[in-house]
Amino acid sequence: MGSLDALPGEARKKARKEDQPSWTQPMLAKLTKDRFSSEDWIYERKLDGERCLAFKKQKKVQLYSRNRKSLNASYPELVEALEDQEEGRFIIDGEVVAFEGGKTSFARLQNRFQVQDPEKARRSGIAVYYYVFDLLYTDGYDVTEVPLRHRKALLKGLLAYEDPLRFLGHRNEEGEKYYEEACGKGWEGVIAKRANGPYVHKRSSDWLKFKCVREQELVIGGYTEPKGSRKGFGALLVGYYENKKLRYAGKIGTGFDDRTLEKMKEKLSELERDDPPFESEDISEKGVHWVEPHLVAQVGFTEWTGDNKLRHPRFLGLRRDKDPSEVHREKAGQQG
């Protein structure tokens, strides 16, 4: 068991004797384009799963999502694993993941999201794991003001880590090197955390996201109407050629400034057609303007989902040097 007595004197003073709360807001990271290395920071693997806070009081365990939805029915094996722990009172933070090969897969985990029957969840055939990375409360004490490095040391000794419970380790100092390794392995990225920082219940620049984004060309086949004050258009519908047929890969709604939206709208309006260029795809979007597939976009994204759609796509620009018919889906793990 992790013991507060193991903390250095100054860190121990920051632990506060308090009643255990039934809920607390999670700490969230900010996205940054900067990559850096520092002895004042630690670096953790960014997992592509579902955020989960676990509250245990005696034998009762409650799992919550970041917006306080109960996750007990979706992940009964995690509830049981935490119930079996010797430590009786704690609040921990982590990420629930499923794997596709050696990588965490949000697409695979989604099959557990809507399950509200614990037995159906067990029979799903999708193994889940709880990677624990922070400690908020233990044995009557709020430890959110204790520096992160010491919270992680307490956390490592708190639980017996056997599947499906896993402790998320970290790297010291070498943030840029770890980021390069993460992207090379096809991970979602790295989270940089200030080593002596407290746990705050909001989005904070003490936690920063270094995201790995893949890139490739995709053919534009349509666009949606803009909403609200947005100019030009709402999103682009894109795809790639497979056996000479244009396959739908999803829509892109970010990465545009006002000038790009207006210029692109002019180009798209000249290419409008009555029917979709995508091959026999069930596209549920409403108010779509179909266009001749003559324009090629450079797109950044985090991964391909299980149903061959882009996850977190972002428009990077138009390509003038690529014939649309030459645009094919790139192999998994390629970096644009």
Q: What is the mean pLDDT of residues 151-162?
A: 96
Give the DSSP H or E segment for 181. helix 175-184
Is residue 333 over pLDDT 60? no
Give the span between the Cα atoms of 14 and 149, in whole angstroms: 13
**Under 8 Å CB-to-CB from 86, ≥6 apart: which residues?**
1, 160
Give the span between the Cα atoms of 55 and 141, in whole angstroms: 13
Give the span between the Cα atoms of 7 and 14, in whole angstroms: 10
Can you read off the two tokens belonging to residue 247?
């396959």
Query: For position 188, what pLDDT does the model report?
Result: 86
| CB under 8 A, 24+ apart: contacts of 114-117 | 115/73, 115/74, 116/73, 116/74, 117/73
Q: What is the pLDDT of residues 176-217, one digit of tens each?
A: 999 999 988 888 899 999 999 999 999 999 999 998 877 889
136 phi-psi bin (left φ>0, alpha ψ -120 to 50, beta other): alpha
Give the strand pairing for 129-138 and 165-167: parallel
Do residues 92 and 136 lie in contact, with contact meaning Cβ atoms separated by under 8 Å? yes
Q: What is the pLDDT of residues 22-76, one digit of tens each?
A: 999 999 999 898 999 999 999 999 998 999 999 999 889 999 999 899 999 999 9
Q: What is the mean pLDDT of residues 268-273?
A: 97
Query: For position 332, what pLDDT does the model report?
Result: 40
Q: What is the pLDDT of residues 276-322, one digit of tens each?
A: 999 877 787 888 999 999 999 989 898 888 888 999 999 988 887 77
Residue 221, classified by CB atoms within 10 Å of its CB into exposed (0-12), middle (13-18) or buried (19+), is buried
Q: What is the mean pLDDT of residues 321-326?
A: 86
Quick one: pLDDT band at residue 101, thresholds 50, 70, 90? confident
Buried b (16+ CB within 10 A) or exposed e, 150-176: bbbbbbeebbeeeebbbbbebbeeebe
The SS3 of residue 13 is helix
Query: For position 336, what pLDDT does the model report?
Result: 35
Give the DSSP letter of residue 19: P
Q: Order the strands of the 28-31 sheet from edge to edge.
A: 28-31, 203-211, 189-194, 38-46, 171-173
46 carries an active-site annotation: yes
Give all domains of the chain, ordered by start, each with its CATH number: 27-46+171-212 (3.30.1490.70), 48-167 (3.30.470.30), 214-326 (2.40.50.140)
Do residues 111 and 160 lie in contact, with contact meaning Cβ atoms separated by under 8 Å? no
Q: What is the mean pLDDT of residues 217-228?
A: 94
Q: What is the mean pLDDT of residues 121-144?
A: 95
In the set 46, 152, 193, 251, the catalytic residue is 46
> Which residue intervals of 190-328 are DSSP H helices?
258-269
Query: For position 334, what pLDDT does the model report?
Result: 37
| Cross-strand pairs, 31 | 209
Is residue 93 over pLDDT 70? yes
pTM for this structure?
Answer: 0.72
Q: What angle do CA 238, 243, 246 make, to 5 degrees?
A: 20
Q: What is the mean pLDDT of residues 110-123?
A: 85
Amino acid at 226: P
Query: For position 331, what pLDDT does the model report?
Result: 58
**Under 8 Å CB-to-CB from 33, ≥6 apart: which residues?**
none
